[in-house]
Chains A and B, each alone.
Chain A
Amino acid sequence: MKPYRTHVMLCAGTGCVSNGAFKIKESLEREIERHNLQDEVAVVMTGCNGFCAQGPVAVVKPDEVFYQLLSEDDIAHLVEEHFLKGRPVRKLMYTPPAEKAPVPKMSDIGFFSKQRLIALRNRGMIDPEQIDEYIARGGYTALVKALAEMTPTQIVGEIKRSGLRGRGGAGFPTGRKWELVANAKRIPKYLVCNADEGDPGAFMDRSIIESDPHSVLEGMIIGAKATGATHGYVYIRNEYPLARERLAKAIAQAREYGLLGENILGKDLSFDISIQQGAGAFVCGEETSLIASLEGRAPEPRVRPPFPAESGVWQAPTNINNVETWATVPEIINKGAKWFSSIGTETSKGTKVFSVVGKVKNTGLVEVPMGITLREIVFDIGGGITDDKKFKAVQTGGPSGGCIPESLLDLPIDYEKLAEVGSIMGSGGLIVMDEDTCMVDVARYFLEFLRDESCGKCTACREGIDVMYNILVRICEGNGVEGDIEQLEDLAGAVKDASLCALGGTAPNPVLSTIRYFRDEYQSHIQDKRCPAGVCKALITFSIDPDKCKGCRLCAKNCPQEAVSGQAKEPHTIDQDKCIKCGVCADVCKFDAVLIV
């Protein structure tokens, strides 16, 4: 086979696929063939590149040129200019917010250059559906090392010394968990990979499986040797069809190569993996709920002990880790505990993948060393706030995480530091909020989610979150009364203390953290019946500033209630009886003339 001179690494993560990546692929292949370049230029579909905001994206190798926001119309020009004539196309490159000139090379783009990839080490570098490409990047060498050179105790020791902690959120030391299962006397034993990813704002688990499924499998096979487990389950939610498909392909390939099944790599280890589909529930982040769901029961947590290491799936000793944790394992075995523990902070080693979303310019998936500051993530990697508005808060850890204010932006991120300020690491969701966000409304929003997701087993969680939610609704509607804040704080304590699992244990975080850092906003709502951010509809009115209004009629044309009246070129007015406070007038006004008070 003639060697290709160029590989176009086209992102086929879920984000880029929904932005038309497969159409781009067709266009690329058509144009490449039109120029008779099909023997010279290959199109490779990779997993998620991480820079989801700019999708569909592609990286051209070996030149490292990063192209973004591709559309079908661009492709003919791109193929002719770059692939035929060797002239990279500047207009399809990324221009950082503060700069004028585009940056051609991926490694020079701030979004990428501050990242350090361990769990995501192969993203964008391989075709996830080709096991040989994973092997070519050093895949399965850690397994060979673990099988040939290490005893189960040595593997557990290496993971313990590395300081790796569960990436699913709770941060329990992975090595200690493995040790418990390794020491369990009963057989069979099971491994579980939690790929349910209950946090609706996080997508690193999906992305890892989509871009590098073998990294998870290799981690689990090493875990099997370490713990003596004979079967593994990947519990993956039904809403992740692409990840499931790639995982199934990867499992089939691994079986074909003898990396799963009897006598793996000709050695004395037998282990297989099957996929278990879940319906996707937030409470499945709790191990015992996940086990219940995996066995076909309703996902309700149960009292621990016994811990899953003693009695898990089908009452057998079970070790559950999250996708990101499993994917990290082979790198630790390859490069050693010392290497891994040299990255990060005193208590939290290695890197963490964050899903950066919300009011930030560069949304996407980033992997950074523990100990990086929130400021670096939001401003250096994230590129700052959308439309250059003012930063207000960042919520870490998903729906039950806390909101961290601007004064704490220089906080180095690790499990303990986040807990100190009233938040959690969680699975690594990061929601950035700007000055137009009402923090009371944010708390209400997340409690609504948590109220729906509470499994209902514990009274404190089921009823407590509901009561808290209703108080927040009342405050947002302008019916807050003195004492509401204190009652919320009381209830929060009860919900935390009297819930079995982490869902109830963390559910009050959004409320407590917003009270802690934005108490004045609660007070404005309750005492002055004002929403300072202009979000809570019951507390705001829309009006038009006659000095700024040019009478362009744009708001009048767009108002769905026909509440705006006025002559062209004359200041307009809003009929308050008709206005439903949808905010369309403010969105369309080019002169900033709509006042929200």
Chain B
Amino acid sequence: MSKIKPEDLGRIREKMARTMNLREGAARARITVHMGTCGIAAGARQIMSTVLNLVEQNGGEDIIVTTSGCAGLCSREPMMTVELKGQAPVKYVDLDEGKTGRIFSEHVLSGAIVKEYALAVGSERIG
């Protein structure tokens, strides 16, 4: 790396945006892939890999990808939850690579819920 100019600071910040958004928890969208034993057996790791590839290809600096345990609906795995900032989370079921790609481009990137793959909007009540 050679000497930098004041405007290069912004470029470095942009390059690091994804890393820092992840650490600061600042994100426009949060994708949770359910990774219970049932999910993994049904192919959740492949779904995770697909999601991460999509994030990489689309430069999704403001998308956080995370995992959670079994969602309690083992027969409909693999599942994932998409939550856009300020909106209710949406659970998607019976996923494969193709469905994941569509959900990513239509819901995560464009904000339109893919109703035909969605199980429900919202989460269970806790407590």
Contacts and interface: CB of A to CB of B under 8 A. Distances in A.
A40 B55 CA distance: 12
A137 B27 CA distance: 16
Given A85-B35, A256-B1, A257-B4, A7 B23 contact: yes
A6 interface: yes
A144 B9 contact: yes
B32 to A, nearest CB: 8
B23 A125 contact: yes
Interface in B6-25: 6, 9, 12-13, 15-20, 22-25
B9 A7 contact: no
A133 B16 contact: yes
A132 interface: yes
Nearest to A35: B45
B5 A136 contact: no
Contacts of A147: 6
Interface stretch (A56-64, A67-75, A204-212, A581-589): A56-64
Nearest to A39: B52
Given A1-B56, A3-B65, 10 more contacts: A62-B64, A63-B66, A85-B37, A86-B68, A136-B12, A136-B19, A140-B9, A144-B6, A256-B3, A257-B3
A87 B37 CA distance: 11
Interface in A91-149: 125, 132-133, 135-138, 140-141, 144, 147-148
A214 to B, nearest CB: 12
B67 interface: yes
Nearest to A147: B6
B75 interface: no
B12 A265 contact: no
Contacts of A85: 35-37, 40, 67, 69
A258 B4 contact: yes
Contacts of B65: 3, 5
Given A62-B25, A85-B36, A132 B15 contact: yes
B37 A2 contact: no
A146 B95 CA distance: 53
B87 interface: no
Interface string A1-26: 11111110100000000000000000
B105 interface: no
Contacts of B3: 256-258, 266
A3 B18 contact: yes
A503 B17 CA distance: 48
Interface residues of B, number: 39
Looking at B15, B48, B56, B67, the one whose CB has the most chain A CB atoms below 10 A away is: B67
Nearest to A60: B66
B12 A132 contact: yes
A301 to B, nearest CB: 41
B9 A266 contact: no
Interface in B24-77: 24-25, 27, 32-37, 40, 48, 52-53, 55-56, 60, 64-69
Contacts of B18: 3
Interface residues of A, number: 37
A84 interface: yes
User: Could you say which of A7, A62, A257 has the most chain B C-beta atoms within 10 Å of its C-beta?
Assistant: A62
B88 to A, nearest CB: 19
Interface string A242-278: 0000000000000011110000011000000000000
Nearest to B25: A62
Contacts of B15: 132, 136
Contacts of B66: 5-6, 62-63, 86
Contacts of A1: 56
Contacts of A62: 22-23, 25, 27, 64, 66
A52 to B, nearest CB: 21
A133 B21 CA distance: 12
A148 B6 contact: yes
Main secondary structure of the interface of A (DSSP, over half): loop
A83 B25 CA distance: 17
A36 B41 CA distance: 15
B25 A3 contact: no
A4 B34 contact: no
Contacts of A5: 22, 48, 52, 64-67
Contact of B16 (A84, A86, A136, A256): A136
B127 to A, nearest CB: 13
A250 to B, nearest CB: 14
Contacts of B69: 85-87
Contacts of B48: 5, 40
A257 B1 contact: yes
A466 B5 CA distance: 58
B45 to A, nearest CB: 8
Nearest to A130: B16
Contact of A266 (B5, B13, B20, B64): B5
A137 B20 contact: yes
B56 A3 contact: yes
A524 to B, nearest CB: 55
Contacts of A256: 1-3
Contacts of B35: 84-86
B22 A141 contact: no
Given A3-B55, A40-B52, A85-B69, A64 B13 contact: no
Given A85-B69, A132-B16, A133-B19, A2 B52 contact: yes
Contacts of B12: 132, 135-136
B85 to A, nearest CB: 13
B19 A2 contact: no
20 contacts: A1-B56, A3-B56, A4-B19, A9-B23, A62-B23, A62-B27, A84-B67, A85-B37, A85-B67, A86-B35, A86-B69, A87-B68, A125-B23, A133-B16, A135-B13, A141-B9, A147-B6, A256-B1, A258-B2, A265-B5
Contacts of B64: 5, 62
B29 to A, nearest CB: 12
Contacts of A125: 23-24
Nearest to A253: B1
Residue among A4, A39, A257 having the largest count of chain B Cβ atoms under 10 Å: A257
